[in-house]
Structure 1
Amino acid sequence: MGLCLMAGVLAAAVLFPVVGGLGLASNRAADTVDQTSGELTKAELPLVSTVLDMNGQPIAYLYDQYRIPVPSDQISDTMKAAIIAIEDKRFFEHKGVDWQGIARAAAKAGVDGGASQGASTLTQQYVKNYLAFVVGKGSEEAYEKATEVTLGRKISEARIATQLEQKMSKDEILTAYLNVVPFGNQTYGVGAAARAYFDTTPAELTVPQAAMLAGLVNEPSRLNPGADVDAAIKRRNTVIDKMRENGAFGADPRVADEKADEYKAADIGVVPDLKLLPNGCVGAGDGPIYGFFCRYLIDYLERAGLPLEEVLRGGYTITTTMDPVATRAAKDSAMAQVPKTQPGISNAMAVVQPGADKHRVRALAANRDFGNNAEAGQSAYSIPAEVTKFGAGSIYKVFTAASALERGVTGIDRQVDVPKTYTSSVYKDGNKGYTVKNDGEYGGKMTLTDALAKSPNTAFIILEERAGLNNVVDMAHRLGLRESMQGVNEEGIPLKADGSNGPSQGDVYKRDNSGSFTLGAGPTSVLELANVSATIMSGGKWCPPTPVEKIVDRNGQPVQLDEVPCEQAIEPGVANALATGMSADTKGGGTAAQAAGNAGWTRPMIGKTGTTEHHMSVAFMGATPQYAGAVMTYADGSTPQAICPGSPPYLCGRVNSGGVYGGQVAAPTWFNAMNVIHQGKPVEPLPQVEQRYR
């Protein structure tokens, strides 16, 4: 009688919203139940997002839950029979709720306490798993809420289950359940579980395989065959016995028993190495070599309006601009110059393709691997894309030259002054004038083209005075050092939203009237340097360095990003003149001539080396009409030191001379990689120069 009375109370609670001592329902609660049951009929499950290279080949997978949704006709009857036998043998008989089981649980616990026994149907379990792993995203709090052992939760779950049975067929509910439920080892749904444990599909699961998977859903962590094979086999055999009792092996008891015994005698059958889908950027690519690009992609998508949380659940297909040939070439070249295990020295390269409508990032690589094991030569920082704390040296003279050309201060064939030393009256060093000297002997004058190739310091301090420091700093920003100039402070630390750790690096140079800007001592991004050369080779058209070619959602519909539009940074005439002015670095007395000769380089190109004062960083930036790129070699340890030349380069304390130069490590990295990247490409000339910029 008690059970019958309790079942009546529960039935009333499910069928009618009530308010009273049970505290179980109200009209608002009923609306919530209606909404939840509606969502469950058309649930969008968390799916894996796939990252592809420019050729459409997968390079990384990003997900919270490894899931491969499958329709009903691709799930074997064996799998369906196994899960029904162990979890809900009266599945096809009830209307979503096992009233007798719930009444038993309520009678035991009392209406004012917890319910310790569930007797949940598969429909109710679908509700529970949906709330925990779809709505609640698998968080511990959501799981506890969805599985709390209270009568209130049971009744709410039962009401939703009852409504579902009116909106969905039994087969639809069973399929939905099998696509949601966790199977352990970060796998969700039978599609991923079949692949992970047995390297097969749900349609091809055998009875022992299906029984093992069905047994897992009870306690995925404890029954995991990787953790306890005996427990997994024992549970699997229990499922097989339940299948036999439920008639899954036929009506003849003798035949059914023989089949059950045969299935229970089978080995566990799990593949030695679970076929789990790689997740995230660590280990992405063969080698692995794609981690830095992957990390930049995630950061770029975040800025463009597609946050990581959405990517991890959205089932997007992201076709990137990454060229695997260029990436491998950059990686191999960076490591050839500086082995990844060489302590304290990073060698990073970025490759960007010039263009008037888009600057596609083709490669981001380094001698380091992307990862968390520093002793194995790994780095969790996006070395080629983030702003480093070290400068690019004399590469910044390009911005001075660009500003001088734009303002009519000089032309690429005109003579500029090159004194041995020069003390500026415009820029100060304390109470004194700012004095610079050249690292080498030059004549008193040379053309701007020769000055860009041979890099005398005094010439560019004079040009900086005439062009105006603020204009030169702004030119660096316009040509591509956007984050380097505005996104970080003078120490290379990203600026906070409230500016409390500012001002920006560019503003500091302007505020302090610091003539040393043209010597490039400040924090710089390798990727942005590559994009500077891409801007020059694109007729002065700046575009954000994008890693994205296209994105489609789970339904194949295109996804639009909020990307920064391209802009004409400088007039095409200035850009073309600057390109020709930078074309002599690989010739004659140019600072990259030896590296170019050693690499057998013969193509027309622009280039500029850079070395910082104490040799803690060196760089090279260059481009052809087809590809632009930059390399920075810098001290990345906790106690940075100068880098000295050797095979390989090594840290050598603090030196003012005898350290490595950009033409020795960074330039060879660039040329050796670009030789591979340009294979099979036609030789293209540099743009023509207008006479007014001569």
Structure 2
Amino acid sequence: VMHGHVTSGASTITQQLIKISQRRPRTLFTKFVETATALRLEQLWSKEQILCAYLNRVDFGNLNIGLASAADYYFGKPVADLSEAEAAFLAGIPRNPRKLNPHSAFDAAQKRQRVVLHRMAANGTLAADRLEIAMAEPLRLRAPRRLFRAPHFTDTVLQQNVEMRDGAEVRTTLDLRLNEQLERLLRERLAQLRDHNVRNGAAVVIDNASGDVLALVGSEDYFAAGSGQVNGAWAKRSAGSTLKPFTYLLALERGATPATIVADVRTSFPSADGFYRPENYNRRCYGPVSYRTALASSLNIPAVKVLLAGGGPAALHERLRTVGLTTLDRAPEIYGLGLTLGNCEGRLLELTNAYASLARLGEWRPWRVLAKAPSAARSYSRRELVWQIADMMSDNSARTLAFGINSALRFDYRVACKTGTSTDFRDNWTIGFTPEFSVGVWVGNFDGSPMREISGVTGAGPILHDIFDHLHATRGTSWYRTPPQIVEENVHPLTGKLLAANDLRGVREKFVANQVSPAESEEDYDADGRVQLDAEYGDWLSSAENSLRDRAVLADAHSKLRITSPLAGADYLVDPDVSTSSRILLTARGGKKLLWSSESLRCEAQDGRQYARATNGEHLITVTDVETGRRADVRISVRSL
């Protein structure tokens, strides 16, 4: 009032600490509150504690909060290595960080430094000879640079719509050192991939126990022109084979086992627009393979058949939404069987968190970047079944078929991991987990241009391996105890059926105790002891891809009855404007006089062929060989457009 304008008086270090620790409106009442709080703090803390807290919180300009940050930014050294001249220079900046900015007002900052040095000498903390040396010492500042730590993580925090009052403290889940380590590993590996037209990548680390996002790097360089600020951890990209573990889990929930055999042979699947003919990544087929091998080696044709056994696209669509994927914005029948091969879009952060739910053995909880965000968990599967999925995904022997014995997915400790590569090499992924951490890596180009011959195991895989090696060395990783429901048995590698414990033909497999393969029988072999394979293996057995040679033979056409149309789990769409779409062709092999039946569909002969009349719903179709009494059945679903 006396001066006719707003003035600011001197305040103690304690009062300044209170002021910067909790921002308040600048009122007379605020001044009283801060003074009272300062008096109370001086009763509780020593002068050294107060000064330390102040120096850790005060603003040194250019986005540097705290003395340690300022020492690194301006001089490139820790606080303990500062000279007296450098320390005095930094001590003067907080008086007015804008007007004393060393990069834009160096002379003013140096003038303030000299004031600080003379006060030190006057207070007896700096001898005269040391003052003379400090006054003469040239100051060598580091070049100005952008300082924005964990920028994509920060952007993600700002997208959470958190209420941020002026000066309010927001606690995040970020581990800055880990984030900086990811930035370095990503940068180094991407440099090695430049010749393959790889220009960017992203990586995420999640703490499985809490759902906390410990590190999130969205691109190689946030400040790169063009697309540096695109957040690759949140961008929608083609998901590739990363969804297959959830397909296999659905099948296990319906009674399959890791030893269940699936035919990896070229197959045409009926679809709404004709036939769907997937190919394996290397365009080679391997014949009879177990679910364990098919998942670990990421075989595409078996994955489609496993999807049919696990309930079809609708079941997988529902499960993916259950584990937090928000990018599935179309109906299941639009994606069709290709859903298991990743013909949908996914976000790296959401996919990594979905894998974190596998790491918790079937318990999903939301990811979070704010420490106080809700993190309620919900279970969606049986723990022992998800344990089997984790065991399959960590089996280096099972993935050798496709990736070789010494791929980037081989670790000296247990890690469950899965790769994914989209069409034309536009995206590749590797996501993995231990009980403690889930890690996801994406590599590609933000403009969608294809990479040159880079797959998940050669692009994202080495980065994931580096990250897990760092976590294993610095924090430690473990593996799961075998659930009490799990038993180990000896099974035939081509039939998946139980053998005697001492039978040398067998391989060891892990089962849920009440979900074990049946024992082998005489019908599994011919007179020479060769495994008899169904008719669907016919073309493969006679091809150059057949690696079994005299170990397997095509079964007698009349020995087994099998429905060849419709395929198990097929999903039919009926178009009212196309009369033929309401007819489902019925064919089978392995019998002579066949009788078709269904409790919910009408089966009839037309033009010398058997058909079922399609009506909406889930249906069981059965065929019986009236001469032998053998039966076979399939379940299908029908929907109208």
TM-score bin, normalised by smaller chain: 0.5 to 0.7
1:133-181: per-residue Cα shift (whole Å, max 9, x none)?
99999xxxx9xxx9xxxxxxxxx99x99999999999xx9xx9xx9999
Deviates more, 1:600-609 or 1:610-619: 600-609
User: What is aligned with 1:372?
Assistant: 223
Residue 614 of structure 1: how far off its partner (Å): 1.5
Q: Give the AA of the match of 2:229.
A: A
The structure 1 residue matched to 2:298, chosen from 450, 455, 458, is 455
Task: Say if 1:396 and 1:520, in contact at 8 Å, map to a contact too.
Answer: yes
Q: Which residue of 1 aligns with 2:267?
A: 421
Residue 122 of structure 1 corresponds to 9
User: Which residue matches 1:335?
Assistant: 188
Higher RCO (C-alpha 8 Å, min separation 6):
1
Count of residues in correspondence between the two structures: 462
Tell whether the 8 Å contact from 2:114 to 2:135 is kept in structure 1 after alignment.
no
CA distance in 1 between counterparts of 2:180 and 2:115 reads 52
Provide the residue aligned with 1:580 in structure 2: 391
Q: Which residue of 1 aligns with 2:464?
A: 670
Please show how residues 528-539 of structure 1 align to structure 2 within 5 Å. Answer: 528-539=350-361
Secondary structure (helix, strand or coil) at the match of 1:460 reads: helix
Pair 693,240 (structure 1): closer, same or farther in 2 beyond 3 Å: closer
Q: How many angstroms apart in 1 are the aligned matches of 2:170 and 2:229? A: 25
Distance across 2 between alignment mates of 1:197 and 1:335: 26
Question: Match for 1:314 among 158, 161, 169?
Answer: 169
Distance 1:413 1:351 in 2: 32
Deviations 1:295-344 (A, max 9, x none): 436635864x855666x65386x6756774x9737843773365487765
- Asked if 1:541 is matched to 2:356, the reply is no
- Does the 8 Å CA contact 1:618/1:662 hold for their aligned counterparts? yes
The match for 1:609 is 419
SS state at 1:379 partner: coil
| Equivalent position SS for 1:514 | helix
The residue aligned with 1:252 is: none
Q: Within the alignment, does 1:477 sit opposite 2:316 as a pair? A: no
1:350 aligned residue: 204
SS at match of 1:608: strand
Deviation per residue, 1:530-587 (Å, 9 max, x gap): 3333322322122334557xx6xxxxxxxxx132311112221331232234344653
Secondary structure in structure 2 of the residue aligned to 1:371: coil
CA distance in 2: counterparts of 1:402 and 1:421, whole angstroms: 22
CA distance in 2 between partners of 1:271 and 1:341 (Å): 39
In structure 2, the CA distance between the partners of 1:585 and 1:391, relative to structure 1 (3 Å rule), is farther
CA distance in structure 2 between the aligned counterparts of 1:583 and 1:165, rounded to whole angstroms:
60
CA contact (8 A) 2:234 2:347 kept: yes
Residue 447 of structure 1 deviates from its aligned partner by 2.4
Q: Distance in 2 between matches of 1:593 and 1:319?
A: 37
User: CA separation of 1:414/1:685 partners in 2, compared to 1, >3 Å: closer, same or farther?
Assistant: same
Aligned equivalent of 2:153: 296
- Measure, in 2, the Cα distance between the counterparts of 1:401 and 1:521: 17
Matches within 5 A, 1:112-191: 120=7, 122=9
- 1:30-41 aligned within 5 A: none
Distance 2:290 2:299 in 1: 11
8 Å Cα contact 1:595/1:664 also seen in 2: no
- Whole-angstrom distance in 1 between the partners of 2:424 and 2:259: 32
Paired residues of 1:526 and 1:630 also in contact (CA < 8 A):
yes
Decide whether aligned partners of structure 1 residues 580 and 222 sit closer, same or farther in structure 2, where only a CA change above 3 A counts. Answer: closer
Which structure shows the bigger proportion of residues in helix conformation? 1
- Would you say the 8 A contact 1:405–1:693 is kept in 2? no
Deviation at 1:239, TM superposition (A): 12
RMSD between superposed Cα atoms in Å: 5.8
Q: 1:562 aligns with which of 355, 358, 373?
A: 373
Preserved contact between residue 203 and residue 217 of structure 2 (Cα < 8 Å): yes
Partner residue, 1:88 = none
Describe the SS at the equivalent of 1:662: coil
**Cα 1:364–1:595, aligned 2, differ >3 Å: closer, same or farther?**
farther
Question: C-alpha distance in 1, partners of 2:68/2:177?
Answer: 31
What does the per-residue CA deviation read over 1:102-126, in whole Å, with 9 as the maximum and x for residues that have no partner? 4xxx7xxxxxxxx8xx8x47389xx
Q: Secondary structure at the match of 2:200?
A: strand
Q: 1:334 to 1:662 in 2, by over 3 A?
A: farther
**Which has the larger share of strand?**
2
Q: Which runs of 5+ in 1 are unaligned?
A: 1-9, 11-98, 107-114, 147-155, 244-248, 250-262, 285-290, 487-504, 552-560, 646-659
State how far apart, in whole Å, the 2-side matches of 1:352 and 1:183 are.
33
Structure 1 692/608 Cα, relative in aligned 2: closer, same or farther at 3 Å? farther
Contact 1:421 1:438 in 2 (8 A): no
Check the 8 A contact 2:292/2:398 in 1, yes or no: no
Contact 1:620 1:667 in 2 (8 A): yes
Q: What's 1:389 paired with?
A: 236
- Give, in whole Å, the separation in 2 of the partners of 1:625 and 1:266: 54
Matched residue type, 1:460? A
Cα deviations across residues 371-426 of structure 1 (Å, max 9, x unaligned)?
A: 21249xx933443xx33332231222222222222234x332222344403132xx
1:336 & 1:188 partners in 2: Cα distance?
A: 32
- Once the two structures are TM-superposed, the CA of residue 613 in structure 1 deviates from its matched residue by 1.8
d(CA) in 2 for partners of 1:166, 1:416: 75
Q: Which amino acid aligns with 1:348?
A: A
Q: Which string of whole-angstrom CA distances, capped at 9 and with x for unpartnered residues, describes residues 587-616 of structure 1?
A: 3644333443x6763544433322212211
Give 1:186 deviation, angstroms. Answer: 6.8
Aligned partners of 2:185 and 2:466 also within 8 Å: no
For 2:497, the equivalent position in structure 1 comes to none
**CA gap 1:669/1:189 in 2 versus in 1, 3 angstroms:** closer
The change in CA–CA distance for 1:123 and 1:181 in structure 2 (over 3 A counts) is farther
Q: Which residue of 2 aligns with 1:40?
A: none
Identical-pair percentage:
18
Who is 2:141 aligned against?
A: 273
Q: What is the one-letter code of the residue matched to 2:361? A: G
TM normalised by structure 2 equals 0.55
Pick the aligned partner of 2:284 from 441, 460, 474: 441
TM-score norm. by structure 1 comes to 0.51
- Counterpart for residue 382 of structure 2: 571
Contact 1:454/1:585, CA 8 A, preserved across alignment: no
In the aligned structure 2, how far is the partner of 1:192 from the partner of 1:605?
36
Mapped partners of 1:348, 1:189: distance in 2: 29
C-alpha distance in 1, partners of 2:465/2:66?
49
Distance 2:36 2:308 in 1: 80
AA at the equivalent of 1:414 = T
Q: Deviations over 1:268-316 (max 9, x none)?
A: 989643999x997x2x3xxxxxx26xx436635864x855666x65386
Q: Classify 1:279/1:438 alpha carbon distance in 2 versus 1 (closer, same or farther; 3 Å).
A: closer
SS at match of 2:432: strand
